[in-house]
Homo-oligomer: A and B are copies of this chain.
Amino acid sequence: MKKKRPSLKDIAEVLNVSTTTVSFVLNGKGKEKKISDELIAKVEAYLKEINYKPNLVARSLRTGSTRILVFMVEDISNHFFSKVGRLIEDISYKNDYRVLFCSTENDLKRTQDLIQVFHERQVDGFIIVPPPGIQEDIENLIESEMPVILFDRKIPEIDCDYVIINNFEGAKNSSEHLIDSGFKNIAFITIDLDQVQMHDREAGYIAAMNEAGLTPNILKLPYNTSTVGSSRETMKEFINNSKDLDAIFFATNYLSQSGLKGIHQIDTQLIDKLGIVSFDDSGFFEMYSPTISAFAQPVEDMAENLMRIMFQKLKNKGNAKPEQLVLEGTLVKRESSKAKVV
């Protein structure tokens, strides 16, 4: 009744060969180890016959490698992260690595927990979008020789590998695009989060406004996942109170989505009077009416670089000095930022 899964030893016994032989054949090292063709054939036939599945836990214990990578982002259902994730998965797959996805929700406790879980389970590397406060845990990870690459945002205090984009330029370009479309009272709606990428986006917006001789108008929402509704109310108030407001630049795609909902709630027609650009693209933006312009990050480029660095670290066993990449994104112009006909 209890059909325990056959082990290498069981197979060796049945075939009257040693476990060594079976192991070599299993790992395709038969030729290399000069095992006779007929024996190889015999073993392979049997492995296939019983549909043998090696116990990878045992293999990992022995080899010290799980061939598992972890991709830990703020929210894997976010268009940007899932897109990069998918690309990373493909590249990993071709190199015989699997990748595990998880969402930190930008929550420190949760992230620490995830890092711990995967570290204990001996994964081979981490790609992490670091939430605030995670610095020490990241340092510990690196300390213990674990390959770690930061993504989307860096931690200035740590000198480690990262792949990010030029947030300042992206925000500046986006703002300038709205200005070029003739908008004058452009607001910037962002999150009150002490992280570099947010500061840079804000700075980019302010720079563009100043250069154009326009007055910045900024709303900083408290960062708190649990009160999405209340922050939308704040947005609505802000929009209502901003005199002559004619355009909004949102600092993230989820802010835009919440904002669009708020705009719709204020007045069904309001969206047609406002210029909108969002930082970070989203599948939603193409579908919305009007379609929403967005500053898109170079996902393929990011994924490729991330994996190039990762494989390098996996080989070099953690010497080599950190690679720190700052890539450029592209502004995708859609209906929402077109000049309004007066």
List residues of chain A with CB under 8 Å of any chain B CB: 2-3, 5, 51, 53-58, 60-61, 66, 76-77, 82, 98, 100-102, 116-117, 119-122, 140, 143-145, 257-258, 260-261, 264, 268, 271, 284, 286-289
Cβ–Cβ < 8 Å partners of A102 in chain B: 101
Do A122 and B76 have beta carbons less than 8 Å apart?
no
Counted per complex, copies of this chain come to 2
Do A53 and B5 have beta carbons less than 8 Å apart?
no
Do A144 and B289 have beta carbons less than 8 Å apart?
no
Do B54 and A120 have beta carbons less than 8 Å apart?
yes
CB distance from A268 to the nearest CB of B (A): 6
Cβ–Cβ < 8 Å partners of A261 in chain B: 286-287
Cβ–Cβ < 8 Å partners of A2 in chain B: 145
Do B53 and A119 have beta carbons less than 8 Å apart?
yes
Q: Which residue of the partner chain, among B53, B60, B98, B120, contacts A53 with CB atoms under 8 Å?
A: B120
7 extra interface residue pairs, beta carbon distance < 8 Å, beyond A53-B120, A57-B60? A55-B120, A55-B122, A56-B122, A57-B66, A57-B121, A76-B101, A271-B289
Do B284 and A284 have beta carbons less than 8 Å apart?
yes
Cβ–Cβ < 8 Å partners of A116 in chain B: 53
Supply 5 A–B pairs (Cβ within 8 Å), ascending by A. A3-B143, A55-B120, A61-B61, A100-B100, A260-B287
Q: How far is the CA of A60 from the CA of B77 in the complex (A)?
A: 30
CB distance from A232 to the nearest CB of B (A): 10
Given contacts A5-B144, A100-B100, A144-B5, contact A56 B289 (CB under 8 A): no
Q: How far is the CA of A268 from the CA of B284 in the complex (A)?
A: 16
CB distance from A26 to the nearest CB of B (A): 12
